[in-house]
C-alpha cells in the first residue's frame, strides 16, 4: 500500500533512534526569542543609578561645604573652651547670653590691645630701620672694600638695584598680587566672623543644644552624651590651660633675654613669642622667633645671633622636657600619643587639625576608658622588663664555637 502524505510526514518527524523530537512552539518562533526581561531588572538598574547620583551629589556638597564644616568644628571647640567661664558667671544669676558676650568682649579687648601695641612697635622699628639703612649700607660697603680691596660705592649699588630686572619683576608681581592679598584678607575676616558667631551661639545656647540633642535619645544614651560633653569641656579647658602656662613660661624666659640684651619693646616681644609659639602649630616657633631676631639685628647683628641660639635651645627644652610633662598632666594622654595626634591632625585638616587634635584625642580616650574593662596584671618579671632567661654573651658564644 502506498504511503499517504500524513504517513510520510510522521516518518520524517520520527528520530532515527525511535524517539519523537519536541514539537515547536506555536507561532513558529525559535527557542529563546519569546523570553522576557525579568521584572525586577529595570527597577534595580534605576535604583543603582539613583544611588550613584546621590553619592555624587553628596560628595560634591561635602567638598563645597568642607570650609564651613571646619569653621563649625573650630567654633565648637572654642565654645567648649569658654564654657567654664560662661557657666561660672551664669551660676551667679547672669544670663548666658550676657555672660558669653562679656567673655568675648574681654577676649576682643585683650586681642585689640595686643595688636595695637605690636603694630606701633613694628611701625616704629620699620621707620627706624629705613632711616638707619644708609648708615648700615655704608658700614657694609666699607667692610667689603677693606676686606676684599674693592672700590664699591653706594651710588653703584643703588643704580644696580634700581635698574635690575629682579626689582622690576618684583614690582610687577606685587602690583598684580594686591587684589589676591585683599581677597585673602576679606576671606579671613569673613571666616573669623563665622567662627565667632557659631561659637557664641554654641556657648550661649549650650543647655538648649544639649536638651535638643538628648530629646531624640533614650535615657541611657542621654547620660552618655552628657558625660561625653562634660569630658570634652574638661579636656579642652585643660589643653588651653597647658598652652597658656607654656606661653607664660616662654614669655618670661624670652623677656629676661631681651631685657638683658637691651632690645626695645621687650615686654611686647615676649608676649608675642609666648602666644605665637604655643597657639600657632608647626610654624609658630619660627614666626615667634623671627620678629625678636629682626629687631635685635637693628641694634647689633650679634644680638640677633644670641636670640637665635636661645630660641633653638629653649625650643628643645620645651619639646623634650616641659611640654610632655604639662600635656600629660593637664590633658592626661601619653606624650607619644599627643605627638602622633598632632601629626595625624595636620595631615587631615592642616593647622586646624593640629590645634584641635590633642583635646579631641584626650576626650575620646577619656570617654572610651570608661567602657574598656581592665584586669589585674600578673606579677611577672617580664612586665617590668626583666627577661627570665638571659641570652649567652658574645664571648660565651665565641668560646663555644672555638671549642668545637
The predicted pLDDT at position 56 comes to 93
What's the confidence (pLDDT) of residue 25? Answer: 52
The Cα angle at residue 367 between residues 354 and 385, in degrees rounded to 5 = 80
Residue 57 has pLDDT above 90, yes or no: yes
Could you give the CA distance from residue 138 to residue 153 in angstroms, rounded to a whole number?
9
Sign of CA dihedral 252, 253, 255, 260: positive
Which three cell numbers, joined as nine digits, stand for 115?
595688636
As a whole number of angstroms, the distance between CA 89 and CA 83 comes to 10
1 pLDDT higher than 50: no
Cβ contact 304:310 at 8 Å: no
Structure confidence at residue 27 (pLDDT): 47
**In sequence order, what DSSP letters do the residues of 215-262 get, joined into one string?**
TTS-HHHHHHHHHHHHHHHHHHHHHHHHHHHHHHHHHHHHHHHHHHHT
Mean pLDDT on 3-19: 49
* Cα distance between the two ends of the chain: 111
pTM value? Answer: 0.61
Residue 355 has pLDDT above 50, yes or no: yes
CA-to-CA distance for 14 and 395, rounded, in angstroms? 98
C-alpha cell at 262: 637691651
Q: Cα separation of 281 and 321, whole Å?
A: 18
Q: How far apart are CA 236 and CA 321, in angstroms?
A: 22
Q: Among positive and negative, which fits the CA dihedral 82, 85, 91, 94? A: negative
CB-CB contact of 236 with 331 (8 Å)? no
Average pLDDT, the chain: 76
How far is it, in rounded angstroms, from Cα 237 to Cα 62? Answer: 30
Res. 24: pLDDT tops 60: no
Angstrom CA distances, 304 to 106, 178, 254, 299, stand at 35, 31, 13, 9
Whether the predicted pLDDT of 276 surpasses 50: yes
Q: How far apart are CA 204 and CA 86, in angstroms?
A: 8
Residue 149 has pLDDT above 60, yes or no: yes
List % helix, strand, coil for the chain (3-state, nearest 5). 80, 0, 20
Cβ within 8 Å of residue 229, ≥6 positions away: 210
Give percent above pLDDT 90 in the chain.
6
Whole-number pLDDT of residue 10 = 45
% residues pLDDT > 70 (the chain) = 72
Whether pLDDT at 349 is above 60: yes
Span 310-329, pLDDT tens digits: 988 888 888 777 777 776 66
pLDDT at 32 over 60: no
How far is it, in rounded angstroms, from Cα 43 to Cα 38?
A: 10
Least-confidence region, from 24-38, 209-223, 331-345: 24-38
The mean pLDDT of 22-34, rounded to a whole number, is 50
Cell, residue 366: 577619656
Grid cell in block for residue 8: 510520510
Please indicate whether residue 261 or residue 38 has the higher confidence score (pLDDT). 261
Residue 172, pLDDT score: 63
What sign results for the dihedral spanned by CA atoms 221, 223, 229, 234?
negative
What is d(CA 91, CA 228) in angstroms, rounded to the nearest whole number?
A: 21
Amino acid at each position: 500500500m502506498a504511503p499517504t502524505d500524513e504517513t510520510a510526514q510522521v516518518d520524517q518527524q520520527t528520530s532515527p533512534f525511535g524517539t519523537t523530537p519536541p514539537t515547536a512552539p506555536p507561532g513558529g518562533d525559535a527557542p529563546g526569542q519569546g523570553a522576557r526581561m525579568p521584572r525586577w531588572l529595570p527597577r534595580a538598574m534605576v535604583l543603582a543609578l539613583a544611588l550613584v547620583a546621590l553619592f555624587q551629589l553628596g560628595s560634591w556638597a561635602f567638598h563645597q561645604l568642607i570650609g564651613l564644616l571646619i569653621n563649625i568644628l573650630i567654633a565648637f571647640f572654642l565654645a567648649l573652651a569658654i564654657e567654664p567661664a560662661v557657666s561660672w558667671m551664669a551660676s551667679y544669676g547672669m544670663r548666658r547670653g550676657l555672660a558669653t558676650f562679656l567673655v568675648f568682649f574681654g577676649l576682643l579687648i585683650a586681642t585689640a590691645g595686643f595688636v595695637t601695641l605690636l603694630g606701633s612697635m613694628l611701625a616704629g622699628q620699620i621707620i627706624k630701620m629705613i632711616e638707619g639703612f644708609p648708615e648700615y649700607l655704608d658700614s657694609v660697603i666699607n667692610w667689603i672694600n677693606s676686606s676684599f680691596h674693592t672700590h664699591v660705592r653706594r651710588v653703584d649699588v643703588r643704580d644696580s638695584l634700581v635698574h635690575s630686572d629682579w626689582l622690576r619683576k618684583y614690582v610687577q608681581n606685587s602690583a598684580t598680587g594686591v587684589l589676591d592679598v585683599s581677597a585673602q584678607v576679606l576671606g579671613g575676616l569673613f571666616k573669623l566672623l563665622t567662627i565667632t558667631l557659631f561659637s557664641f551661639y554654641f556657648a550661649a545656647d549650650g543647655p538648649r543644644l544639649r536638651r535638643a540633642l538628648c530629646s531624640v535619645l533614650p535615657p541611657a544614651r542621654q547620660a552618655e552624651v552628657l558625660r561625653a560633653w562634660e569630658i570634652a569641656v574638661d579636656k579642652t579647658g585643660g589643653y588651653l590651660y597647658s598652652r597658656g602656662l607654656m606661653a607664660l613660661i616662654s614669655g618670661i624666659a624670652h623677656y629676661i633675654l631681651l631685657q638683658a640684651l637691651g632690645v626695645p619693646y621687650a615686654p611686647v616681644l615676649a608676649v608675642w613669642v609666648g602666644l605665637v609659639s604655643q597657639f600657632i602649630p608647626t610654624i609658630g616657633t619660627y614666626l615667634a622667633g623671627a620678629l625678636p631676631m629682626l629687631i635685635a639685628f637693628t641694634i647689633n647683628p650679634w644680638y640677633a645671633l644670641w636670640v637665635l641660639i636661645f630660641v633653638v635651645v629653649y625650643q628643645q627644652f620645651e619639646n623634650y622636657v616641659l611640654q610632655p610633662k604639662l600635656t600629660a598632666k593637664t590633658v592626661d594622654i601619653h606624650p607619644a600619643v599627643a605627638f602622633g595626634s598632632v601629626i595625624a591632625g595636620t595631615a587631615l585638616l592642616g593647622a586646624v587639625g593640629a590645634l584641635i587634635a590633642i583635646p579631641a584625642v584626650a576626650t575620646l580616650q577619656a570617654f572610651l576608658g570608661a567602657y574598656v574593662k581592665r584586669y589585674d596584671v600578673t606579677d611577672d618579671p617580664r612586665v617590668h622588663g626583666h627577661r627570665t632567661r638571659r641570652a649567652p654573651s658574645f664571648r660565651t658564644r665565641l668560646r663555644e664555637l672555638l671549642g668545637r
